[in-house]
Amino acid sequence: MARPREFDEDTVLEAATQRFWTNGYEATSMRDLADHTGMTTPSLYNAFGDKRAIYHLVLDRYARRALESCSTIFGGDDPPLRALERYFNDLIEEVLADALQKGCFVVNTALEVAPHDADFRDLVTNVFDRIEKYLRDCIASGQSDGTIRTKLPAADLARLFLSATLGIRVLARTSSERELLTGVARPLFALLRTK
């Protein structure tokens, strides 16, 4: 009979997430993870696998939460333009609240790990594709109801908004200037407004 786990999985995975997110994949060792999770290295291996497996697990967990947040914003009762404004306002507030300026765990992975690892590249691409779909569907809805201009296709605008999302997350790694970050989003809304 297997022994019951003597640790809280969510607590351990959150500690591992924070360590990877703060230091990056390459700069985090299994010893670091053991120190920050309160587990021994062999216990981490037994419970979750090697460093790569743990990273994949915590990144997937983080990505699911990020996509749930998008689903809440874009699946709510707000009109399309208001949902887009809320999305960018929440994004900017989130990055400004991060005193360590860690950026986005998915974006950091896109820059550090995904270029060299197809599994992580697929995970990151899937997240970006799903965010783009939320944006595209929202913009198309606004174009259908007349609250968003139709001069540019919803797909093109969604890619532009996704690029701005990623840009804000990267800029937030080095700057906590609200005006810089809002200045990225502000012109986007000028492209959308009908009045």
Domain count, the chain: 1
86 lies in which domain range? 62-192
pLDDT at position 194: 82
Report whether 14 contacts 38 (CB < 8 A).
no
Asked if residue 7 is part of any domain, the answer here is: no
Alpha-carbon distance 74 to 71, whole Å? 5
Asked if residue 12 is part of any domain, the answer here is: no
Asked if residue 21 is part of any domain, the answer here is: no
pLDDT value at 88 more than 70: yes
User: What's the rounded mean pLDDT across residues 160-189?
Assistant: 95
Asked if residue 75 is part of any domain, the answer here is: yes
What is the crossing angle of helices 41-48 and 51-74, to 10°? 60
CB-CB neighbours of 194 under 10 Å: 12
Bridge partners of 193, per DSSP, are 148
Alpha-carbon distance 37 to 18, whole Å? 10
pLDDT at position 62: 97
pLDDT tens digits, 6-44: 789 999 999 999 999 999 999 999 999 999 999 999 999
Q: What are phi and psi of 14, to 5 degrees?
A: -65, -40
User: Distances in Å between the alpha carbon of 126 and those of 52, 98, 133?
Assistant: 19, 25, 10
Give percent of the chain with pLDDT exceeding 90: 93
Asked if residue 157 is part of any domain, the answer here is: yes
pLDDT at position 5: 63
Segments in the chain forming alpha helices (H): 9-23, 30-37, 41-48, 51-74, 80-97, 105-112, 118-145, 154-171, 178-192
Asked if residue 52 is part of any domain, the answer here is: no
The whole-chain average pLDDT of the chain stands at: 95
CATH code (residue 108): 1.10.357.10
Asked if residue 29 is part of any domain, the answer here is: no
Asked if residue 135 is part of any domain, the answer here is: yes
CB-CB neighbours of 33 under 10 Å: 22
CB-CB neighbours of 130 under 10 Å: 15
The single-letter code of the amino acid at 170 is: V
CA dihedral sign, ordered 156, 161, 165, 170 = positive
